[in-house]
Amino acid sequence: MKTFLINLRRSAAAHKAVTGIILAALAWGGYVWYSSAMQPPAVTKYVVQDAAEGTVIASVSGSGQVQAQTTVSVKPQVSETVTKIYVQPGGHVAAGQALVQLDTTN
């Protein structure tokens, strides 16, 4: 161990500039670590206000694909020509609402 310290001292003396830079870097690192460790923790601040009635103005936007949760297959019981369509694709329909008119001349 004694020879290691002697060799280390000789090497440090031979490379004074490098040793000085290393010691300065170690000192700076110790200073930065110590100053950050000694700072008090950040305090959380809360803003408290009584509730008031009013209008909330907010918007939500997004992008992506829309997919139906359930689908229904419409299978007619008769084979006729459709003469009129009462609904648009994607439109809302109610129970019992007529969707199409069939040709009754046959």
- The per-residue pLDDT for range 39-70, each reduced to its tens digit, is 887 888 888 989 889 898 888 898 999 888 99
For 24-44, b/e burial (b = at least 16 CB within 10 A) is eeeeeeeeeeeeeeeeeeeee
Which residue shows structure tokens 């609904």? 87
Instruction: State the pTM of this model.
Output: 0.31
Q: How confident is the model at residue 35 (pLDDT cuts 50, 70, 90)?
A: confident
Compute the radius of gyration of the chain from its Cα atoms: 41
Q: With bands split at pLDDT 50, 70 and 90, how would you rate the model's confidence at 31?
A: very high
Identify whether the C-beta of residue 42 lies closer than 8 Å to the C-beta of residue 63.
no
Q: Mean pLDDT over all residues of the chain?
A: 86
